[in-house]
Amino acid sequence: MQETTLTVNGKTHTVDVDPATPLLYVLRNDLGLRGPRFGCGLAQCGTCTVLMDGRPIRSCILPVSRTRGEITTLEGLPEDGKLHPVQQAWIEEQVPQCGFCQNGQILTAAALLSNSPNPSDEEIRRGMNPILCRCMTYYRIQSAVKRAATAMAGTSGEEDR
């Protein structure tokens, strides 16, 4: 056991765990978060995705001692109590079926759009491809990413004016 300090959703936490513990178990079992979930433990499916300094990573294989910077989970995505445009688009498109994988889908889409605000269909497919969904909601996910891109473009346009 060893004390590790990490910043999650804007708050600093110190946990006393084996430093090799994958971040996922610390987030779920020590910090009580529900967004990231165990899917494979192999970094293959993306169900456990969190953002580390804005970049999607697989928390199921990252040792907690190797986390750096700011961790953002699905719970931390809204700003000022307002859902992230990607989350809003997910509701408007009624994307989820069971919803188990949607944590990874939403966070990956948010990261995709922050890097590429107006992605082509091909960019969306390529960017989202690593996140698996066994209810196969891919079709609606891709629609929702486009919807979110449009919404975000509209928002930034207003700011420009």
Which residues here bind other proteins, judged by CB under 8 A?
Answer: 1, 17-18, 21-22, 25, 28-29, 32-35, 37-42, 44-45, 47, 73-75, 77-78, 83, 87, 90-103, 106, 121, 124-126, 128-143, 146-147, 150
Q: Which residues contact 67 (CB under 8 A, 6 or more apart)?
A: 4, 6, 23, 52
Q: SS3 helix, strand, coil % of the chain, rounded to 5? A: 40, 20, 40
* Residue 25: CB minimum distance to other proteins, A: 5
Whichever of 47 and 67 has its CB closer to other proteins, that residue is 47
Q: Please state, in angstroms and as integers, the Cα–Cα distance from residue 25 to each residue in 15, 22, 43, 143, following that order.
A: 11, 6, 14, 32
Cβ proximity to other proteins, 18 vs 53, nearer residue: 18
Least distance in angstroms from the C-beta of 117 to other proteins: 16
CA 23 to chain centre: 14
Least distance (Å) from other proteins to the CB of residue 47? 6
- The CB-of-141 to other proteins minimum distance in angstroms stands at 7
Distance CA 117, CA 147 (A): 11
The CB-of-51 to other proteins minimum distance in angstroms stands at 13
Contacts of 157 (CB under 8 A, 6+ apart): none
Q: Which is nearer to other proteins, 43 or 161 (CB)?
A: 43
Comparing CB distances to other proteins, the nearer of 12 and 120 is: 120
Q: Are 29 and 13 in contact (CB under 8 A)?
A: no
Which residue, 1 or 159, has its beta carbon nearer to other proteins?
A: 1
For CA atoms 130, 96, 92, 90, give the dihedral sign: negative
